[in-house]
Amino acid sequence: MSTTTTERLDPTPPSAATPMLEVRDLVVRYGRGRKAAAAPAAVDRVSFSIAPGETVGLVGESGSGKSTIGKAILGLQKASGGSISFQGKDITAAGAAERRALGGELRAVFQDPNSSLNPRNTIGISLAEPLRLRRVSAAEARTKAEDMLERVGLPREAVDRYPSQFSGGQRQRISVARALICDPQLVVCDEAVSALDLSTQAQVLNLLADLRDERGLSYLFIAHDIAVVQFLAQRVVVLYRGQVMESGPAAAVTEDPKHPFTRALVAASPVPRPAEQAARREARESLGVRTGAAAVPAQGGCPFRLRCPLATDLCASDRPALRRVGSADVACHYA
Sorted by where each starts, the structural domains of the chain and their CATH numbers stand as: 3-105+184-330 (3.40.50.300)
SS3 108: strand
Is it the case that residue 335 has pLDDT exceeding 70?
yes
Q: Average pLDDT for residues 96-106, to the nearest whole number? A: 87
Band of residue 14 on the pLDDT scale cut at 50, 70, 90: very low
Quote the mean pLDDT of the chain: 86
Query: Which band of pLDDT confidence, cut at 50, 70 and 90, is reported for residue 29?
Result: very high
Q: Which amino acid is at 11?
A: P
Summarised one tens digit per residue, pLDDT across range 226-256 is 888 988 999 999 999 999 999 999 999 999 9
Looking at residue 17, what is its pLDDT?
74
**22 strand-pairing partners:** 49, 85
Q: Whole-angstrom Cα distance, residue 189 to residue 107?
A: 9
pLDDT of residue 5: 40
- Is 328 in contact with 253 (CB distance < 8 Å)? yes
pLDDT of 11 reads 42
Burial of residue 262, with CB atoms counted within 10 A of its CB: 0-12 exposed, 13-18 middle, 19 or more buried? buried
